[in-house]
Amino acid sequence: DIVMTQTPSSQAVSAGEKVTMSCKSSQSLLYNENKKNYLAWYQQKPGQSPKLLIYWASTRESGVPDRFIGSGSGTDFTLTISSVQAEDLAVYYCQQYYNFPTFGGGTKLELK
Amino acid sequence: EVQLVETGGGLVQPGRSLKLSCVASGFTFSSYWMYWIRQAPGKGLEWVSSINTDGGSTYYPDSVKGRFTISRDNAENTVYLQMNSLRSEDTATYYCAKMHYGSYGVMDAWGQGASVTVSS
């Protein structure tokens, strides 16, 4: 199984701040034939179901604000929120789909 | 609008069975792989099962293999999860999710979840 490790596990932020969170995989998620990274990011707000934000490591899902930016390749990936809004307080999960899906442990964004 | 509605959750004793259903609407159900993902109380997400478009191929992690069975009825736009020999560690909210078009393994719509508690 591919193990996904997210850091930090929680982060206190202020509105307007730039935030970055990390996701590392135990093996490369880059498929050489199509040069795509099989990595997605989800947002889960309290009491809600997860919501897809980004796939192929950097492609935003339709309707997702452009302050959410996915980057990285191979085994190291980052989700950046360029200017955090109050509605962004949530847990963020990365997920690989190179093999059977596995998720990271999540990064919880809290208010400072 | 895509909608996924899970039903069938509840309290069940260890060793017993439970069957979850997920009714889909707002998309061509028969064209998409479907998934079950669970989340134990206060914990992260765990993939539980996948099924291809015609139901001919199914996949499970070792944690549920041999105990859980995913199936689908394309005429009824419904995906099921039959859970047998339930254990306390199966206690979780179970979500069904839809495959993102062109991206096997990406889940672009999720249901509200069905709560399953395994306890005597």
Lowest-confidence pick of A71-80, B24-33, B49-58, B100-109: B100-109
- Nearest CB neighbour to B111, from listed A49, A103, A106: A49
- Residue B21, pLDDT > 90, answer yes
- Pairing type for strands B10-12 and B114-118 reads parallel
Phi/psi of residue A53, nearest 5 degrees: -105, -50
Rounded Cα distance between A52 and A31, Å, is 21
Measured between beta carbons, the chain A residues lying within 8 angstroms of B95 are 49-50
- pLDDT of the residue at A112: 87
- pLDDT of the residue at A23: 98
pLDDT band for B102, please (50, 70, 90 cuts).
confident
Q: In chain B, how many H helices and how many E strands?
A: 0, 11
- pLDDT of the residue at A111: 87
Q: Which of B3, B48, B106 should be substituted to probe chain A, the one whose Cβ sees the most A Cβ atoms within 10 Å?
A: B106
* Chain-chain contact of A49 with B44 (C-beta, under 8 angstroms): no
Contact B40, B34 (CB under 8 A): no
Q: What percent of chain B has pLDDT over 90?
A: 97
Burial (CB count <10 Å: 0-12, 13-18, 19+), residue A16:
exposed
Rounded Cα distance between A72 and A78, Å, is 6
> Residue for token digits 């306390």?
B88
* Chain-chain contact of B107 with A50 (C-beta, under 8 angstroms): yes
Contact B24, B31 (CB under 8 A): no
pLDDT tens digits along B45-87: 999 999 999 999 999 999 999 999 999 999 999 999 999 999 9
pLDDT tens digits along A26-73: 999 999 999 999 999 999 999 999 999 999 999 999 999 999 999 999
- pLDDT of the residue at B67: 98
CA distance, residue A29 to nearest chain B CA (Å): 13
